[in-house]
Chains A and B, each alone.
Chain A
């Protein structure tokens, strides 16, 4: 959990906005450090977390969360964290073997044109079952869905429209129905405009998700080039849905990632410069 980011977003583990869909995006950069922030934030806030870790192994997230002060193994044992390790589950479908039970959640790998219905059902079943009823299980806070990262589904052959449907269904269930939060990471490449007419793909996904979300954090490299002390800039954009129509509020920060966290500062106030 990065304390400076908490003060920027005006949220603490004790009080944060509910029914929020946070979109993390990056362009030619790496925004995955923000996913670790939100994971440790919501675990500290005693929320029930469903994490779709599609691109890295469990030990990677566990090692980093350890440095941020949260133990993923303990959270999994207590039932607070439901972790889908995409890499491990996918092998059972990509290399089918007799006698090996195939994972249901990543069933879309067998035929990507079918869509992400099975993945949605996995999310729904893991977050809908609240742990208050059984003996010995603790009562957790609002449910949270974290996805790292959703654009890898495009690389696995799923249509951008199907991914948008999936995120819409998840938002309806998690944010509206269960009054929880959702955080998704989407990664882009290349220039913003000037595509060769290829609308199917990451750009379409990014535009669609930006329209659905309520808060975006867009990570980019510095416009002046590579710098060792300032790793890039983050643009935070609130899209408030007040009664009298939407108004957006934007703020721009620069950041530097350390071993145990990240520091955010206003443009030009990096400690390397001052």
Chain B
């Protein structure tokens, strides 16, 4: 749209109302924008990413701040630990603060195994690169001829551009570089360092509350999120006999802790991921009350070591994922995922979760000696095998 020549030099306010629109964008938003969060489209709650994009989709867009995600571990604790590491790595990339608690491994070991993020541009903290770029001569090979107006803009995207995205991808074959990891503030709780007479869960709750209060996450004007990762609660190393006996003596120690955790999270800007070895807990009613005290609950069942590992039907996947609970906070209805049968696969650059169903094989493909999964691939295109025997 060509503006008339005489109005180009005038300031906007003096233009006649017939030539320009009086639209002004209202930036009076009440939500404080914290990097790495976004409001939910369903009920306006603040969401953070779990680090796994397909899991975010399952949970309704992300993990709501103030809630707990319960992950029932798979038998060898490989994939649940992976999701915990994704969660913590996402916190590092978004510059949230971390709180890691474990009884078996040192939290420092968990933090050293975080996967490396795949960023499009230069990594977050390399300020030494900037002066080098700016003293390149302007008439270098990069001199722009068509888009010359953009010549003077910095060549590197600022770090904020990558952290304002919601959800990142990680390369699990590499670990996160120490400079990136050390830039994030991590609080640790390693149980052998806290010998207590009282239950270890109350020591953990007290420590978490101290961190929240000291770093100011419970103040209404807090500007950052605390990500809490609790590894393998309910295992015997936490001083709990839930996983050892059919009728544990203190069956309510873990549930009381989860109640206190919910109280802490609801009153502060934090989010927690808890993994529980549910395959060791025999009491189903107890598992039910643990699930109800957490807001989101998923269970992982990996195929490793079972006969399903060699079953051709499951050959594309590493395991099954069950969604046991999705919260409906601040609203009446909740959004369960459409598919109830979900399977996951850990690839190098992505953890995918897909709806899973058995493919019916072609009539003619049964003559093939290849597995039926082959016919699943042929379903999408014209099948070369004859339809009639």
Which residues of chain A have a CB within 8 Å of any CB of chain B?
30, 33, 36, 56-57, 59-60, 63-64, 67, 87-88, 90-91, 94-95, 109, 112, 151-152, 154-157, 187, 189-190, 198, 201-202, 226, 228, 257-262
Contacts and interface: CB of A to CB of B under 8 A. Distances in A.
A226 B340 CA distance: 8
Interface stretch (B23-31, B183-191, B253-261, B299-307): B253-261
Contacts of A226: 336, 340
B30 to A, nearest CB: 15
B252 A157 contact: yes
Contacts of B255: 155-157
A259 B333 contact: yes
Interface string B251-287: 0100110011011101100000000000000011100
Given A156-B256, A198-B283, A57 B333 contact: no
Contacts of B263: 87-88, 90-91, 94
B209 interface: yes
B220 interface: no
A257 B333 contact: yes
Given A90-B259, A91-B264, A258 B284 contact: no
Contacts of B20: none
Given A94-B202, A95-B260, A155-B293, A64 B266 contact: no
A198 B288 CA distance: 14
B292 interface: yes
Interface string B327-345: 0111111101010100000
Contacts of B338: 228
Contacts of B334: 30
A36 B332 contact: yes
B285 A157 contact: no
The B interface is mostly helix, strand or loop, or mixed, namely helix
Contacts of B206: 95
A64 B334 CA distance: 13
B332 A67 contact: yes
Given A36-B332, A155-B293, A90 B285 contact: no
A94 B289 contact: no
A153 to B, nearest CB: 10
Nearest to B202: A94
Nearest to A257: B333
Contact of B256 (A88, A94, A261): A94
A88 B209 CA distance: 13
Nearest to A96: B206
A186 to B, nearest CB: 12
Contacts of A67: 331-332
B205 interface: yes
A201 B247 CA distance: 12
A91 B7 CA distance: 64
A109 B288 contact: no
Nearest to B283: A198
17 contacts: A56-B329, A57-B266, A63-B331, A64-B330, A64-B331, A67-B332, A87-B262, A88-B263, A90-B263, A91-B263, A95-B202, A95-B206, A95-B209, A155-B289, A155-B292, A189-B292, A226-B336
Interface of B: 202, 205-206, 209, 247, 252, 255-256, 259-260, 262-264, 266-267, 283-285, 288-289, 292-293, 328-334, 336, 338, 340
Closest 6 CB pairs between A and B?
A189-B288, A157-B252, A87-B263, A155-B255, A63-B330, A94-B260
A202 B292 CA distance: 13
Given A33-B332, A56-B329, A226-B336, A152 B259 contact: yes
B57 to A, nearest CB: 17
A116 B287 CA distance: 24
A242 to B, nearest CB: 36
A95 B285 contact: no
Contacts of A57: 266-267
Given A30-B328, A152-B293, 11 more contacts: A60-B329, A95-B205, A95-B206, A112-B252, A155-B256, A155-B293, A156-B256, A157-B252, A189-B292, A202-B285, A259-B333
Contacts of A63: 330-331
B71 to A, nearest CB: 19
Contacts of B329: 56, 60
A90 B267 CA distance: 12
B266 A87 contact: yes
B332 A155 contact: no
Nearest to B210: A95
A115 to B, nearest CB: 15
A260 B263 CA distance: 27
Contacts of B330: 59-60, 63-64
Contact of A64 (B202, B285, B293, B332): B332
Contacts of B292: 152, 155, 187, 189
A228 B334 CA distance: 11
Of B285, B293, B338, the most chain A CB neighbours within 10 A belong to B285
A94 B252 CA distance: 13
Contacts of A198: 247, 283, 285
Given A190-B284, A226-B340, A262-B332, A109 B256 contact: yes
